[in-house]
Structure 1
Amino acid sequence: MEQEHFFQCPHCWEEISMILDSSIREQTYIEDCEVCCNPIEITPNFEDGELIGFHSISIDQ
């Protein structure tokens, strides 16, 4: 199941959103910010389909 999550970009500080797959309990991947296009490491954690943890860190270029 997918769900949209809003958070602040660690590069430009704008509020952005990403679609997260709640069927995978723990995952880490890299997505580009939709505003500034800089890479962000995303780590969401789910339990029973509910988001229980979310971390986003900037990746230096």
Structure 2
Amino acid sequence: MYEHFFQCPYCWEEVSVLLDPSVRKQTYIEDCETCCNPIEFQVEFESNELQMFEAQPIEQ
């Protein structure tokens, strides 16, 4: 697992998420551990290296 730190698009706190480099392309939704709002993640790995990471708010 790969721990990645980012800024929440809702509360602007720095939080971390665990990423699985064995899955090359990933899109999933997870709640912010600080404010509990849903965030859509798009992640891409190549040769176990993080190539792309996006954390976008979900319109409710």
What TM-score, normalized by structure 2, do the two folds share? 0.97
Q: What's the offset of the Cα at 1:26?
A: 0.3
Aligned 1:1-61 pairs, distance under 5 A: 2-61=1-60
Q: Deviation per CA, 1:6-47, whole angstroms, max 9, x where unpaired?
A: 000001110000000000000100000000000000011000
Q: What's the offset of the Cα at 1:60?
A: 1.9
Query: Structure 1 stretches of 5 or more lacking a match?
Result: none
User: What do you get for the CA RMSD once the two structures are aligned?
Assistant: 0.5
Query: Structure 2 stretches of 5 or more lacking a match?
Result: none
